[in-house]
Structure 1
């Protein structure tokens, strides 16, 4: 087993390690180790004030202290680096990031490329030419309407269209029940974008989600092009999964098979 890689799974915004449970089960059934990381202030470190529960008191919630207060991108990277250092004792590592988790994965790869044998972005932010906020102002993101995580039916409908249009309402609501109310939105600076001399020497895969309406395929493809231009001798290995931003986590067999195929590098 020492020659088999360990998959290190990094979640996106408002999510946590819980969302990877179905994928981890499928990876295990294919004979692969995996570790789902809770970034600081997530999972059982999250804060769920009484004002967040039903009935919600949004005015009170706005003033509640949260466990994620003060957490930075550097803190996220340090958490993942600690996990990678321990996993590396058992053999190769594959760092897999989803959505906003790609920002953390990129920062990790910039800081400690020696700990990562392959990096996999699954419709994840891989900032190269711009900081993440800059991409939101570009034409590729013009039609994105992410809604909001509230009890308002109109906002929830917009959220479902953006993240899970191809899931059932029950699947969508079940996934939402794993989300948490607070998020660290530190996306770093230009120094945290992909760096050719560190991040750029790691073999990498980008898994496109073909029906993603929150990180549209045009944005995914733009980041792939920019990364390949940065390190033309180490381009992305590009794969595609059908489905929305969340489908691969709710119905994970195709994703598990894809990751298993990458295990041999």
Structure 2
């Protein structure tokens, strides 16, 4: 079942402030998706900061300043070595991701409410953190993100009918190693195959210009720990389910199709009928970019409640 429902902007206008009775301005804590650094949020955070809001983007373990770039990934590339070079991300788990974010949320909560935001695979960490520390979160926000409720993990949703239009296989064409052997999903964003790059663009970036696409490819990181899609990521009614939530649908998303995004929304609302999802829709491809004006307006409003 899909939904075209949009929550009126005033319908939950006091939800965040009333959740803890704390009227101090909130801190928005942003979690990136797979094979990405926190820099993906920089444009959005810059615009929100200029409007007087507070925001911080978290680099999950093994990403951003801690990213591992295989020697064989550099130019000139050694594709044979790239398929076998060990990665420290193989030892990282979802628990490490949760621990990192919980630490940031605890620090931010000393200064007022916290709104936790995740994009794409970052939704897995959002749900797990929501289960762990629901009383420290005033809202959770999913931006075209996996929000598992009925099925146990991200991977289980990949074979659902709602995901049938996903172009994920066009991205996995760039995979250069067996995740089961290497322990990471290693993607060669610098592939010399134009068809691989075309497929990545169609799936992730929609109508990005060639210049914007090149910048995106140079921002993405080759390694992602392989265990996250199989990690239990279900939001639990008695913990996560008590937190007000927003889902920002990307209607042009070809990685997580709108039908699957709607399934996440509907499952969450069935689990917590007294805490319905605040739904927003933006005509954007999977990677945004997140600094686009529509998203700035949405987060400015959420932060201003």
- Is TM more than 0.5 here? yes
**In the superposition, relative to structure 1, how do residues 261 and 43 fare at CA in structure 2: closer, same or farther (>3 Å)?**
same
Segment of structure 1 superposing worse, 4-13 or 48-57: 48-57
1:237 matches 2:237: no
**Which of 30, 40, 52 matches 1:19?**
40
Alignment partner, residue 182 of structure 2: none
**What secondary structure sits across from 1:177 in the alignment?**
helix
**Which of 197, 201, 221 matches 1:160?**
201
1:108 matches 2:129: yes
- Distance in 1 of aligned mates of 2:245 and 2:98: 18
Alignment partner, residue 91 of structure 1: 112
RMSD between aligned alpha carbons? 1.6
List aligned pairs for 1:167-246, cutoff 5 A: 167-187=208-228, 191-246=232-287
Alignment partner, residue 90 of structure 2: 69
TM (norm. structure 1) is 0.95
Greater Cα radius of gyration, structure 1 or 2: 2
- Distance in 1 of aligned mates of 2:80 and 2:231: 35
List structure 1 runs of 4+ shifted beyond 6 angstroms.
none
Give the number of aligned pairs.
264
**In the superposition, relative to structure 1, how do residues 38 and 224 fare at CA in structure 2: closer, same or farther (>3 Å)?**
same
Output one character per residue of 1:5-35: Cα deviation in whole Å (capped at 9) or x when no partner: 1000000000011111111111111111111
1:191, distance to aligned residue in structure 2 (A): 4.9
The gaps in structure 2 that reach 5 residues or longer are 1-22, 175-188
**Which of 66, 79, 94 matches 1:45?**
66
The gaps in structure 1 that reach 5 residues or longer are none
1:253, distance to aligned residue in structure 2 (A): 2.3
Segment of structure 1 superposing worse, 196-205 or 176-185: 176-185
TM (norm. structure 2) is 0.83
- Distance in 2 of aligned mates of 1:68 and 1:190: 15
- Distance in 1 of aligned mates of 2:70 and 2:244: 42
1:136 matches 2:158: yes
1:263 matches 2:285: no
1:46, distance to aligned residue in structure 2 (A): 1.0
Alignment partner, residue 56 of structure 1: 77
1:74, distance to aligned residue in structure 2 (A): 0.7
